[in-house]
């Protein structure tokens, strides 16, 4: 996996979703390999979405206290803060590239951080945006589905 990676919210959520053990193992490996060497970047949007998802939407939700502790740990990763300028770039991307606003905000944060890989299950695997390539870490090599 390449250096300078950005994680979409779904990656962090799977680290705590025991109902998806195969995906959980893949994410834990990414967090260890990329997060452990400072090459995994997040955004404040990702942390916000993570909190809501793991405390409300998992089959076995985390307590608010446990989610708080997770966000404290994720807070040591390189972080892109959502600014008005970033929001305006995301709006332009939504208008020009047919991404949803929330996905555009993720893409723009990854680009701002100079990332080469955006790990996401929800966006088009293999799509290139400048130097950034979207990669679905759960898709097997050669999988066309």
Which tens digit of pLDDT belongs to each residue from 19-39? Answer: 999 999 999 999 999 988 889
Mean pLDDT of the chain: 93
pTM: 0.91
Structural element, H or E, at residue 7: strand 5-7
Rg over CA atoms, the chain:
15
Compare 12 and 143 and report the one with higher pLDDT: 12
Three-state secondary-structure class, residue 67: helix
The pLDDT, as a whole number, for residue 1 is 36
* Domain boundaries along the sequence of the chain: 5-135
- Using the predicted structure, report yes or no on whether residue 11 has a pLDDT greater than 60: yes
Query: Does 5-135 carry CATH code 3.40.50.1010?
Result: yes
Residues in a beta bridge with 7? 119
């Amino acid at each position: 996996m390449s250096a300078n990676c950005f994680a979409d919210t779904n990656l962090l959520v799977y680290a705590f979703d025991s109902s998806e053990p195969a995906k959980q193992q893949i994410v834990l490996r990414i967090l260890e390999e990329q997060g452990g060497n400072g090459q995994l970047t997040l955004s404040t949007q990702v942390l916000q979405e993570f909190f809501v998802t793991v405390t409300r939407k998992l089959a076995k939700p985390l307590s608010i206290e446990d989610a708080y502790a997770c966000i404290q740990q994720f807070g040591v990763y390189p972080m892109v803060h959502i600014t008005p300028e970033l929001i305006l770039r995301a709006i332009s991307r939504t208008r020009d590239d047919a991404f949803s606003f929330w996905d555009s905000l993720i893409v723009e944060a990854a680009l701002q951080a100079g990332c080469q890989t955006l790990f996401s299950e929800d966006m088009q695997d293999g799509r290139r945006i400048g130097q950034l390539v979207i990669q679905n870490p759960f898709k097997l090599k050669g999988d066309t589905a």
